Amino acid sequence: MHELSIAQALLDQAIRIASENNALKISEIEVELGVMRLVVPEALEEGFKVLSHNTPAWNAKLILTEVPITAQCRQCKQPFTADMGNLLCPQCQTGDVAILSGNDIILKTVICETTDEKETL
């Protein structure tokens, strides 16, 4: 279950960001999940919930957005949306493609609460 290690890395980053900004609590974390990473969102959410217990991120809202695979053919330069099971260019049927999106896990936003107000970091 690689979702647990991903949850730990996200939690560590969010806590570091909160600490650097003197925040008391993390209320929301937004993450983009590339489809190629094969992350099961429910497993990531559950792992994050367990790992965040007794941390500033306890009960933080985890917003997960799946990012589809987009690619560009290196032969004909055609950009296209791909599937995990089919990375062939729909125009020329070559498999020589560059992946443009869908292969990353990106921490987009951490919303923290300070003594005065919520702050987006």
Q: What would the mean pLDDT of 40-49 be, rounded to a whole number?
A: 97
Q: What is the CATH number of the domain that holds 37?
A: 3.30.2320.50
Is 94 within a domain? no
119: helix, coil or strand?
strand
Per-residue pLDDT band at 119 (split at 50, 70, 90): low
Give the burial string for 91-115 (b: 16+ CB within 10 Å, else e).
eeeeeebeeebbeebeeeebbbbee
Is 85 within a domain? no
Is 121 within a domain? no
DSSP β-bridge partners for residue 34: 67
Number of domains in the chain: 1
- One-letter amino acid for residue 1 of the chain: M
Is 76 within a domain? no
Looking at 21-112, list the stretches that DSSP marks H as alpha helix, in order from N- to C-terminal side: 41-51
* Percent with pLDDT over 70 in the chain: 94
Residue 82 is encoded by which pair of tokens?
């791909």
Evaluate the CA torsion angle 35, 99, 6, 64 in order and state its sign.
negative
Q: What would the mean pLDDT of 5-32 be, rounded to a whole number?
A: 96
Is 45 within a domain? yes
Q: Quick: pLDDT tens for 58-99.
A: 999 999 999 999 999 999 999 999 998 899 999 999 999 999
pTM above 0.95?
Answer: no
State which residues form the domain around 58.
2-68+102-113
Residue where the block lists tokens 């702050």: 119
> Cα–chain-centroid distance for residue 74?
27
Per-residue pLDDT band at 114 (split at 50, 70, 90): confident
Is 30 within a domain? yes
